[in-house]
A and B are shown apart, each in its own frame.
Chain A
Amino acid sequence: MIFVLGITAMLLFVFGMAGVLLKRNPLVMFMSIELMLNAVNLGLMIISRASGHVDAQVLTIFLITIAAAEVAVGLGIIVTLFSDRDDVDVDNINLLKG
C-alpha cells in the first residue's frame, strides 16, 4: 500500500512541476504550486503512518499554514500584476519595474 501512496505523491508532485514548467497562465502556474505542496503533505502523512509518530502530522499542519500565507501574498502579487496590463502571459512579464 505504501508503494501506491508513494507513487501517487510523486506523480502529484510531477504533475505540479509540469504545470509550472508548461503553462503560461500565472494563475494556473500558482495552482500547480499548490499541487506540489499537496504532494509534499501527502508524503509527510505517509511517513507519519509508516513510523507511527505524530511529528510528521505537526509538520503537515505547519505546511498547510505556510501554504495559506503563500496564497494570500501570491494572489496579491498576481492581482497587482494584472491590474494595469492587458496581457497576462508570463513570457511578457519580464520587468520588475511596475
Chain B
Amino acid sequence: MTLTDILLVIGCLVSLAGAGIVLFASNPTRSLLGLFLTSVSVGVIYLLLGGAFVAMAQIIVYAGAVLMLFLFVVRYFVKRLPRSRIRWQLGAGIVVVVILFLQVLIPLLGWFSKGRFVEEYIPPDPGLLGKTIFEQYVYPFELVSILLLVAIVGAIYMARGESQSDDGGAGQ
C-alpha cells in the first residue's frame, strides 16, 4: 500500500463522514458544514487521482462559490427553518435507499473488484484538458455556456419578481 493509497482511503473516510453529517445533523448549518467537508475531501481525491485542474475547479466552484451561496441562504432563513426531523417516511425511505444501493452495487461489483488502474499513468496537464475540450468537445462546451446564460437570466428574473409587481408593470 503506497502513500497515495493511504491518503485516498483517508479522503474516502472523510468524505463519507461529511455525507453522514449532511444526513444526520438536525441543524441546517451543520449539514452545510458537512457538505463542505465532503466537497473538499472529494477535491483531494481528484488531486490524488491525477486530475489537478478538476480538483481546483471542484474546490473553487463547489467549496467556494456554491457553498457560500448555500451559506447565505441558510443564514438568511435560519430563524424560520424547521428542525428537519425525520417522520413516518423513515421506513419507506430506508427501504428505497437499500434497494437502490443493491441495484447499483450488484451490476458494478464485478468491475469494482476486477478493475485496475492504468499502471504507467501520466497525470494529464491542464493544457491537454483544454486541448481536449476545445478540439473534441467544442459543441458541448458552447451548450454549457448557453445553459449558464439561461441560468443567469432565470436567477435575475426570479430575484426581481417582487419589484416588478410593485411598479404596476411600468417596468415592462
Contact = CB atoms under 8 A, between A and B. Distances in A.
Nearest to B93: A21
Q: For the complex, would chain B's binding face be called helix, strand, loop or mixed by DSSP majority? A: helix
A79 interface: yes
Contacts of A10: 101, 104-105, 108
A38 B39 CA distance: 7
Contact of A52 (B32, B97, B118): B118
B62 A38 contact: yes
Contacts of A93: none
Contacts of A70: 151
Nearest to B72: A75
Contacts of B101: 10, 14
Interface residues of B, number: 84
Interface in A10-61: 10-19, 21-25, 27-28, 30-32, 34-35, 38, 41-42, 45-46, 48-52, 54-55, 57-58, 60-61
A27 B104 CA distance: 26
A23 B93 CA distance: 10
Contact of B51 (A6, A60, A72): A60
Interface residues of A, number: 69
B19 A12 contact: yes
Q: For the complex, would chain A's binding face be called helix, strand, loop or mixed by DSSP majority? A: helix
B84 A28 contact: yes
Contact of A50 (B42, B69, B105, B115): B115
A66 B32 CA distance: 20
Contacts of B73: 27, 75, 78-79
Interface string B41-71: 0100110011101100110011001100110
Nearest to B60: A64
Contacts of A7: 112
B82 A89 contact: yes
Residue of A4, A7, A57, A78 with highest tally of chain B CB at under 10 A: A57
Interface of A: 1-8, 10-19, 21-25, 27-28, 30-32, 34-35, 38, 41-42, 45-46, 48-52, 54-55, 57-58, 60-62, 64-73, 75-80, 82-83, 86-89
12 contacts: A12-B19, A12-B38, A24-B84, A24-B87, A28-B22, A28-B28, A42-B45, A49-B50, A49-B51, A60-B46, A61-B57, A65-B147
Given A8-B12, A45-B49, A72-B154, 13 more contacts: A4-B9, A4-B12, A5-B12, A5-B45, A6-B108, A8-B15, A12-B19, A31-B22, A45-B46, A48-B50, A51-B118, A61-B53, A67-B66
